[in-house]
């Protein structure tokens, strides 16, 4: 009874599932039909946020493909912006939306370009076009935009940076520009606008953005070049990532990042203009209907950065500086010494030999070091006094730059390798080097102390045999010094003999058929070995099988032995061998002892194995013949022996074949 | 006597070969086939030689003479001509690299030395010259414990690694076969040790073959062949500047954009520079 109830219960559940599945399928069909009935047509619309702009503005051009899902996959062709009088400065960026509400399956794909007008007047952007996957061609509306001349520069940011010309950010939308005023700007900081040739001018660009201003990304429209200057980079954002620090100015909290800091050293006089830096800062744009109340501006334009799962649409704001003019003064002509070295900066000088005593014709290293502030790598070598006692063999220089405190400086070391040609005490006069100190605005003569060098006579003759050089700069010197100095590094010489490839081609071996075929060799080796082993194991483990396998070869061996006795004088031995061959063959095939095989046993067993009676009779007749001839008085003739041999051979072949099958 | 011989012949004809005979014949046949195959390989490779040997050496000597006469452009063209004719030899790449250096084309020199080192990784001259022409800040030294593995990997070319692997495979096959064929005894113990040693060697070197393959063939490496190339954030000149790459900087080519741009990742320089960036295709030559 319980079983019956359980069975019915199962049937009810199964039936309920079936009905549910049918209802669900029907509902899906209805939804699909309803969706098909409610499909609106695919539309292509073009739009711009404002129809009046200036030449300095950037226009956002947007085309949107809306409609049923079928519109997907179509790629709109934008109009020819160039002929319409616009230059593409960004885009296209793609934004896709889906509406999968029951009955309203639609999607929209929006493409946006950032355009800059190339001329003033009323410009018309022709329609964009698209061909749908079903072959239908659509065109958008055309757009008219009035472009006027660049408006008067907006008022500078009124802030605590009075006296500085700081330009506000521009987006092309006046309302937004007003919102951004004082909240986003680029500030150039230059330490002086008048400097001498070769004097350091430090320039830094800082980006200020109000803490409440959400920013998506940064980019450069143009970075200043520095014609007329030698440039030394003081700061670059690590990995291109801006490093912001919090700073409060007049009660407004800013995030401030240094964009670039450089030390400039003018190499020509006159007024030098440093071009403006222009950055684009991407600001998030609020999408209609998705506005969230916590916009930083409490304005419909901006919205939270994370409000859109497909990424927020942005509007680029241009922040820029004005071009900066720097007046470069020539070095004063009055009181300019004739020995002036053209070096500008604040430096000290030292000089010393690497060892106080040297052997005649050996080389001694005179190190002259400049240290201080200024462009050290531009320091020219100091002139050495003419001395017959010391020959200049070679000179080299190295420098170490530092940017401590934003001031370029460091040390530059000149090394003069001198070879004394006479023995005795040599007085090396002090060096004199004149530089221009821009801070004191006067020429300064740097001097070193005179140096003494004791030169020992050459060991054997006046002419040097082996010249001992000091090691490379910074290395050990004195007795442990290396005997060889590298004069000039260069590449190793070409190879002039032979090739190296030794038959190996550049193509990988696995592309060669021969190499691939060779892979079969080790596999075949192991496979053959495995087969041999298996066979050996079977031979050793199954005696009957082993005897059967070897029966034919053993019989052949005996037949070969009998063939050697195929003459009438060996008749008895021949038939004895023939008898053994036949008996042993049958015994091996039946896995029995040859000695115990009687005629009856042979007939019975072979008949049981399906051997034809004629063959059995033939075998028994041959065995009987062998028996009778062995004990006969007369010798068998050759024909009889040959006939018996042939019969035995053929019989063994037949039996082997039949017993195998 | 003649009759006896005829009978013997007849008897042999009547007897089909036994299983053992078949095996013996099969083994001999296989051995002959393998020997013929091994003999044929060098013959085939010789047959595939692109140029006549004397012609090849004459042109090589001509190119060297031009280099010695400081006709570097002509020498470079001669070396490249030989390479284009199918002579893929590290010496040619090395000499072409030297000629490129003399012409001030350090980017192309880097490409040539890299090609030479792919074929002859132990060529210390090519390695030295490559170090000479590469940009000064061409990457930091790898972690100290990692260096032995890199050293071993770069000790052999891919083809040499393949031959080594093949030798080890044959070694294992022979040892395995002996283990299968020999009966218990000292010889079988020795073959067992032989097999274990082969497996150990195979495990030890097994990783280097795919690693070397990845280095040589698995990724596309190129070098900047123009002076001071500025990369972009995307495949267009309208996009922002990204990096400045010195000539000779090695890059990994990640993809080829359809419009003549390459998406690359610099391999030289500090860690910060190892981001993907975009370069015009003509600024990079693939190794």
Query: Do B92 and B127 share a domain, yes or no?
Result: yes
> What burial class does residue A652 get, using C-beta atoms within 10 Å of its C-beta: 0-12 exposed, 13-18 middle, 19+ buried?
buried
**Of B216, B241, B267, which residue constitutes the final position of a domain?**
B216
**How many domains does the structure of chain B reveal?**
3
Per-residue pLDDT at A155: 46
Q: Which residue of A has its CA nearest to B158?
A: A508
Mean residue pLDDT of chain A comes to 79
Alpha carbons B226 and A620: distance in angstroms, whole number: 100
Mean pLDDT, residues A462-471:
43
Interchain proximity A88–B238, CB inside 8 Å: yes
Residue in A316, A494, A569 to test binding to B, most B beta-carbons within 10 Å? A494
* Disruptive mutation site among B5, B7, B11, B269 for chain A (greatest number of A CBs within 10 Å): B11
- The proportion of chain A whose per-residue pLDDT surpasses 70, expressed as a percent, equals 79
**Which of A193-207, A351-365, A628-642 is the most confident on average?**
A193-207
Q: Confirm whether B40 is domain-assigned.
A: no
Separation CA B19–CA B57 (nearest Å): 56
Q: Is B62 in the same domain as B120? A: yes
Specify the higher pLDDT residue, A560 or A297.
A560
Is B44 within the bounds of a domain? Answer: no
> Sheet containing B261-266: which strands, arranged edge to edge?
B241-245, B229-232, B277-280, B261-266, B250-256, B220-224, B284-286
Residue A466 reports pLDDT greater than 70: no
Banded model confidence at residue A476, pLDDT cuts 50, 70, 90: very low
Q: From edge to edge, which strands make up the β-sheet containing A324-329?
A: A194-196, A324-329, A270-274
- For residue A223, the chain B residues in CB contact (below 8 A) are 241
Q: pLDDT-based confidence at A31, cuts 50/70/90?
A: very low
Is the pLDDT assigned to residue A350 strictly greater than 90?
yes
> Do B162 and B231 sit in the same domain of this protein?
no
Residue B47, pLDDT above cutoff 70 = no
Q: What pLDDT is attached to residue A14?
A: 61
The burial of B241, by beta-carbon neighbours within 10 Å (0-12 exposed, 13-18 middle, 19 or more buried), is given as middle
Q: Mutation test of the interface with chain B: which of A91, A506, A508, choosing the one with the most B Cβ atoms within 10 A?
A: A506
CA distance B170 to chain A (A): 5
Q: What is the pLDDT of residues A498-527, one digit of tens each?
A: 665 544 456 778 888 888 999 999 999 999
Two tokens, residue A625: 């013949």
The mean per-residue pLDDT over the stretch B254-276 comes to 82
Q: Label residue A487 by pLDDT band (50, 70, 90).
A: low
Q: How many CA atoms lie within 13 A of B79 on its CB side?
A: 29
In a domain, B21, yes or no: no
The minimal CB distance from A504 to the residues B159, B166, B172 is found for: B159
A214 has pLDDT over 90: no
**Is the predicted pLDDT of residue A482 greater than 60, yes or no?**
no
Assigned token pair, A222: 């143009």
State residue B260's pLDDT score: 87
Q: For A78-100, what is the mean pLDDT?
A: 78
Q: How far is CA A550 from CA A476, A539, A554, A557, B7, in A?
A: 87, 10, 6, 11, 24
Is residue B166 over pLDDT 90?
yes
Do B210 and B179 share a structural domain? Answer: yes
Answer whether residue B32 is part of any domain: no
Given a cut of 90, whether residue B97 has pLDDT beyond it is yes
Confidence of residue A87 (pLDDT cuts 50, 70, 90): confident
Residues B238, B250 within the same domain: yes
Q: What is the pLDDT of residue B14?
A: 43
Mean pLDDT of A104-115: 76
Q: Is the pLDDT of residue A304 over 60?
A: no
Residue A566 has pLDDT above 70, yes or no: yes
CATH number at residue B263: 2.30.30.40
Facing residue for B119 by CB, picked from A493, A501, A566: A501
Q: Is the pLDDT at A30 greater than 50, yes or no?
A: no
Return the residue of B nearest to A534 by Cα. Answer: B180
Q: pLDDT at residue A364 above 90? A: no
* Chain B residue numbers touching A398 (CB-CB < 8 A): none
- Whether residue B18 and residue A556 make contact (CB cut-off 8 A), yes or no, is yes
CB contact under 8 A, B11 and A649: yes
What pLDDT shows up at residue B263? 93
Helix (H, G, I), strand (E, B) or coil at B37: helix
Q: Which of A25-39, A354-368, A575-589 has the lowest mean pLDDT?
A: A25-39
pLDDT higher than threshold 80 for residue B195: yes
The average pLDDT across A530-544 equals 86
Q: Is A608 exposed, middle or buried (0-12, 13-18, 19+ CB in 10 A)?
A: exposed
Overall average pLDDT of the A156-170 stretch: 69
Q: Which of B14, B173, B181 sits opposite A522 (nearest CB)?
A: B173
Could you tell me if B125 and B165 lie in one domain? no
pLDDT at A292 over 80: no
- B125 and A526 in contact by Cβ < 8 A? no
Do B224 and B196 belong together in one domain? no
CA dihedral sign, ordered A574, A576, A577, A583: positive
Q: Report the phi/psi class of residue B232: left, alpha or beta, with left for phi > 0 and alpha for psi in -120 to 50.
A: beta
More confident residue, A288 or A379: A379
Per-residue confidence (pLDDT) for residue A23, from 0 to 100: 53
DSSP state of B192: H
- A492, A501, A552 member nearest B18 (Cβ): A552
pLDDT band at B194 (very low <50, low <70, confident <90, very high): very high
Q: Pairing between strand A52-54 and A43-47?
A: unpaired
| Alpha-carbon Rg for chain B in angstroms | 28
Per the document, the length of chain B is 287
Chain B CB contacts of A560 under 8 Å are 11
Q: Is the peptide bond before B74 cis (omega within 30 degrees of 0)?
A: no
d(CA A127, CA A118): 19
Select the more confidently predicted residue: A413 or A545: A413
Nearest of A235, A260, A481 to residue A354 by alpha carbon: A481
Mean pLDDT of chain B: 82
At B104-157, the pLDDT tens digits run: 888 999 999 999 998 888 888 998 899 888 876 556 677 889 889 999 998 998
Mean predicted confidence (pLDDT) in A28-41? 44
Token code pair at residue A21:
């599945």
Chain B: give the shortest CA distance to residue A425, in Å.
Answer: 42
**Is A528 within 8 Å of B30 when comparing Cβ atoms?**
yes
B177 by DSSP, 3-state: which? helix
Record: contact A489-B159, CB cut-off 8 A: no
If one counts every other C-beta atom within 10 angstroms of the C-beta of residue A240, the result is 15
Question: pLDDT at residue B71 above 60?
Answer: yes
Identify all chain A residues contacting B48, using CB atoms and an 8 Å cutoff: 505
Does the pLDDT of residue B200 top 80, yes or no?
Answer: yes
A518–B125: do the CB atoms touch at under 8 Å?
Answer: no
Mean pLDDT in residue range A526-553? 87
pLDDT in the model for residue B165: 94
What is the pLDDT confidence band of residue A373, given thresholds at 50, 70 and 90? very high
Phi, psi values for residue A245, rounded to 5°: -130, 150
Domain extent for B106: 53-133
Three-state secondary structure call for residue A406? helix
Of A223, A491, A649, the CB nearest to B132: A491
Best A221, A236, A490, A500 member to test B by mutation, with max B CBs in 10 Å, is A500
Residue A511 CA neighbour count, 13 Å, CB half? 10
Q: Does A633 touch chain B (CB under 8 A)?
A: no
Per-window interface: A 36-95 vs B, CB < 8 A: 88-90
Q: What is the pLDDT of residue A33?
A: 43
Torsion (CA) A132, A138, A141, A142 in degrees, nearest 10: 90
Last residue of a domain, one of B133, B164, B182: B133
Q: How confident is the model at residue B211 (pLDDT cuts 50, 70, 90)?
A: very high
Chain B positions in Cβ-Cβ contact with residue A94 (cut-off 8 Å): none
User: How far is C-alpha A339 from the chain's CA centre?
Assistant: 55
Q: Which residue has the higher pLDDT, A16 or A276?
A: A276
Give the pLDDT band of residue A590 (cuts 50, 70, 90). confident
- The predicted-structure confidence for A110-120, as pLDDT tens digits, reads as follows 888 878 888 88
Q: Are residues B211 and B225 in the same domain?
A: no
Which residues is A61 bridged to in the sheet? A113
State whether B193 and B265 are in the same domain: no
In the three-class reduction of DSSP (H, G, I as helix; E, B as strand; rest coil), residue A300 is classed as coil
The reply to whether residue B7 touches residue A642, judged by beta carbons under 8 angstroms, is yes
For B146, residues 6+ apart whose C-beta sits below 8 A from its C-beta are: none
Please give the residue of chain B at the shortest CA–CA distance from A503: B45
Handedness of CA A626, A632, A637, A638 (dihedral sign): positive
pLDDT at residue A346 is higher than 50: yes
The pLDDT value given to residue A418: 86
Q: Is A496 helix (H, G, I), strand (E, B) or coil?
A: coil
The verdict on B231 and B203 lying in the same domain is no
Residues of A in contact with B64 (CB under 8 A): 494, 496
Chain A residue with CA closest to B213: the answer is A508
Chain length of chain A: 661
Radius of gyration of chain A from Cα atoms? Answer: 53
Last residue of a domain, one of B133, B161, B194: B133
User: Pick the residue with more confidence: A15 or A223?
Assistant: A223
- C-alpha B254: how far from its chain's center? 21
Assign B253 a pLDDT band (cuts: 50, 70, 90). very high
Q: For residue B5, tell me if it sits in a domain.
A: no
Q: Are A591 and A544 in contact (CB under 8 A)?
A: yes
Q: Is the residue at B35 inside a domain?
A: no
Is B25 among the domain residues? no
- List C-alpha distances in Å: A311 to A100, A306, B101: 20, 7, 49
CA nearest to B18 within chain A: A553
Tell how far CA A29 is from the center of its chain. 50
Q: How many CB pairs under 8 A join A and B?
A: 143
Q: For residue B267, is it within any domain? A: yes
What residue ranges in A56-85 does DSSP mark as E strands?
59-68
What CA–CA distance (Å, rounded) separates B212 from B159?
10
Q: Do B241 and A220 touch (CB under 8 A)?
A: yes
For residue B110, the domain's CATH number is 1.25.40.10
Tell if the CB–CB gap between A223 and B241 is shorter than 8 Å: yes
Question: Residue A619 CB: number of other CB atoms within 10 A?
Answer: 25
Write out the two tokens for A237. 């954002």
Q: Is A503 in the B-facing interface, judged by CB distances under 8 Å? A: yes
pLDDT for B138: 57
Which residue spans within B20-137 are E strands per DSSP?
none
The closest alpha carbon to A134, from A42, A218, A14, belongs to: A42
Cα(A136)–Cα(A573) distance, integer angstroms: 107
* Environment class of A556 (CB within 10 Å of its CB; exposed 0-12, middle 13-18, buried 19+): buried
Do residue B83 and residue B108 come from a single domain?
A: yes
**pLDDT given at position A537:** 86
């Amino acid at each position: 009874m319980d079983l019956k109830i359980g069975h019915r219960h199962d049937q009810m559940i199964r039936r309920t599932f079936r009905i549910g599945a049918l209802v669900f399928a029907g509902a899906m069909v209805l939804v699909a039909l309803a969706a098909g009935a409610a499909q609106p047509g695919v539309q292509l619309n073009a739009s711009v946020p404002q129809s009046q702009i200036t030449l300095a503005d950037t226009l956002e051009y947007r085309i949107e493909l809306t409609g049923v899902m079928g519109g997907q996959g179509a790629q709109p062709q934008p109009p020819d912006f160039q002929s319409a009088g616009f230059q593409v400065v960004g885009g296209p960026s793609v934004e896709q939306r889906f509406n999968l509400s029951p009955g309203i399956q639609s999607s929209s794909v929006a493409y946006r370009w950032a355009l800059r007008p190339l001329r003033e007047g009323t410009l018309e952007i022709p329609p964009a076009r698209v061909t749908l996957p079903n072959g239908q061609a659509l065109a958008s509306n055309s757009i008219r935009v009035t472009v006027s001349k660049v408006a008067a520069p907006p008022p500078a940011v009124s802030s605590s940076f009075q006296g500085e010309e700081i330009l506000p950010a521009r987006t092309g939308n006046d309302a937004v520009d007003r919102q951004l005023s004082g909240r986003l700007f680029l500030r150039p900081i230059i330490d002086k606008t008048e400097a001498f040739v070769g004097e350091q001018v430090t320039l830094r660009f800082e980006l200020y953005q109000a803490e409440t201003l959400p920013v998506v990304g940064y980019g450069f429209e143009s970075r200043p070049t520095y014609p007329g200057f030698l440039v030394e980079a003081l700061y670059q954002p690590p990995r291109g990532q801006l490093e912001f620090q919090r700073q409060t100015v007049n009660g407004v909290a800013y995030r401030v990042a240094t964009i670039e800091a450089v030390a400039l050293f003018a190499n020509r006089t006159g007024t030098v203009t440093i071009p403006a830096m222009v950055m684009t800062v991407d600001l998030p744009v609020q999408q209609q209907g998705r506005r969230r109340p916590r916009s930083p501006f409490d304005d419909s334009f901006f919205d939270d950065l994370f409000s859109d799962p497909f990424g927020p649409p942005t509007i680029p704001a241009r922040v820029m500086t004005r071009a900066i003019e720097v007046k470069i003064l020539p070095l004063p002509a009055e009181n300019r010494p004739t020995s002036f070295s053209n070096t500008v900066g604040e430096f000290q000088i030292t000089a010393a030999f690497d060892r106080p005593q040297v052997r005649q014709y050996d080389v001694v290293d005179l190190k002259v070091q400049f240290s201080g502030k200024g462009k050290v790598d531009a320091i020219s070598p100091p002139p050495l006094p003419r001395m017959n006692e010391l020959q200049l063999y070679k000179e080299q220089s190295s420098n170490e730059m530092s940017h401590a405190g934003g001031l370029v400086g460091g040390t530059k070391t000149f090394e003069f390798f001198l070879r004394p040609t006479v023995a005795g005490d040599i007085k090396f006069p002090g060096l004199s080097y004149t530089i221009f100190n821009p801070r004191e605005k006067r020429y300064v003569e740097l001097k070193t102390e005179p140096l003494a060098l004791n030169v020992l006579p050459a060991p054997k003759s006046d002419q040097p045999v082996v010249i001992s050089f000091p090691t490379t700069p910074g290395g050990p010197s004195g007795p442990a010094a290396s005997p060889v100095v590298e004069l000039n590094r260069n590449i190793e010489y070409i190879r002039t003999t032979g090739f190296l490839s030794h038959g190996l081609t550049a193509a990988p071996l696995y592309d060669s058929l021969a190499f691939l075929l060779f892979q079969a060799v080790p596999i075949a080796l192991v496979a053959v070995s495995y087969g041999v082993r298996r066979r050996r194991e079977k031979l050793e483990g199954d005696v009957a099988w082993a005897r059967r396998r070897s029966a034919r070869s053993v019989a052949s061996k005996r037949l070969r032995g009998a063939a050697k006795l195929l003459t009438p004088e060996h008749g008895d031995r021949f038939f004895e061998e023939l008898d053994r061959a036949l008996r042993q063959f049958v015994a091996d095939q039946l896995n029995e002892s040859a000695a115990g095989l009687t005629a009856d046993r042979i007939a019975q067993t072979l008949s049981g194995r399906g051997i034809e009676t004629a063959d059995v009779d033939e075998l028994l007749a041959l065995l009987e013949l062998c028996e009778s001839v062995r004990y006969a008085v007369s010798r068998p003739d050759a024909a009889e022996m040959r006939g018996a041999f042939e019969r035995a051979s053929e019989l063994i072949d037949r039996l082997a074949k039949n017993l195998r099958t | 006597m003649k009759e006896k011989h005829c009978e013997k012949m007849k008897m042999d004809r009547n007897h089909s070969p036994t299983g053992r005979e078949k095996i013996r014949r099969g083994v001999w046949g296989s051995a002959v086939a393998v020997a013929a195959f091994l003999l044929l390989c060098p013959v085939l490779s010789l047959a595939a030689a692109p140029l006549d040997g004397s012609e090849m050496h004459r042109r090589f000597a001509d190119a060297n003479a031009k280099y010695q006469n400081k006709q570097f452009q002509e020498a470079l063209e001669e070396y490249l001509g030989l390479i284009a004719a199918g002579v893929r030899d590290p010496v040619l790449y090395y000499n072409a690299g030297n000629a490129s250096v003399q012409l001030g084309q350090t980017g192309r020199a880097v490409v040539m030395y890299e090609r030479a080192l792919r074929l002859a990784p132990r060529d210390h001259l090519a390695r030295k010259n490559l170090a000479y022409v590469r940009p000064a800040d061409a990457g930091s030294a790898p972690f100290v414990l990692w260096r032995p593995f890199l050293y071993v990997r770069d000790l052999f070319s891919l083809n040499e690694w393949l031959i080594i692997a093949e030798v080890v495979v044959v070694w294992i096959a022979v040892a395995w076969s002996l283990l299968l064929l020999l009966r218990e005894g000292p010889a079988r113990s020795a073959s067992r040790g032989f097999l274990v040693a082969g497996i150990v060697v195979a495990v030890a070197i097994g990783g280097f073959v795919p690693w070397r393959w990845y280095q040589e063939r698995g990724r596309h490496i190129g070098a900047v062949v123009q002076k001071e190339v500025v990369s972009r954030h995307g495949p267009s000149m309208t996009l922002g500047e990204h990096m400045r790459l010195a000539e000779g900087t090695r890059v990994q080519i990640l993809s080829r954009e359809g419009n003549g741009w390459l998406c690359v990742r610099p391999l030289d320089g500090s860690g910060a520079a190892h981001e993907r960036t975009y370069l015009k295709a003509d600024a990079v030559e693939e190794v």
